[in-house]
Amino acid sequence: MDLVSLTEKIVKSIVVDEDAVSVKEFDSEDENTILIQVIVSEEDFGRVIGKGGKTANSIRTLVQASASLHDKKFVKIDIDKF
C-alpha cells in the first residue's frame, strides 16, 4: 500500500465527513523526503489533530513506520482544514 493511500485510509477512519478528505503527495526539495498534505473539513480538524496533537502524531508515526519498511524515506505530513 502506498503512503498516500495509507494516510487517506487512516484519516477517513477518524473523520465524520469522509468525502471532504483530500490527501495528496507533493515533490520535496530533498529526494529522501516525502511530503503529504491532508485537508479535512473544519468540523473534523479537531478530531484529526487530537488533544495536544496526539492523533496527528500517531498518524505520522504509522505512516513513517510504513515508509521505513519500504522506501527508507522520511515522511512529512501537513494537516490543514478548509
Dump pLDDT digits (tens) for 8-57: 999 999 999 999 999 999 988 888 999 999 999 999 999 999 999 999 99
Are the C-beta atoms of residues 78 and 36 closer than 8 Å to each other?
yes
Task: Please compute the mean of the pLDDT values over residues 49-75 and round it to a whole number.
Answer: 94
- The CATH class that applies to domain 3-81 reads alpha beta
Nearby residues of 73 by Cβ (< 8 Å), 6 or more positions away: 32, 33, 34, 67
For the chain, which residues make up each domain, given as ranges? 3-81
Report the pLDDT value the prediction gives residue 72, as an integer from 0 to 100. 82
Looking at the predicted structure, is the pLDDT value of residue 73 above 90? no
Report the pLDDT value the prediction gives residue 27, as an integer from 0 to 100. 86
Task: Please compute the mean of the pLDDT values over residues 55-68 and round it to a whole number.
Answer: 97
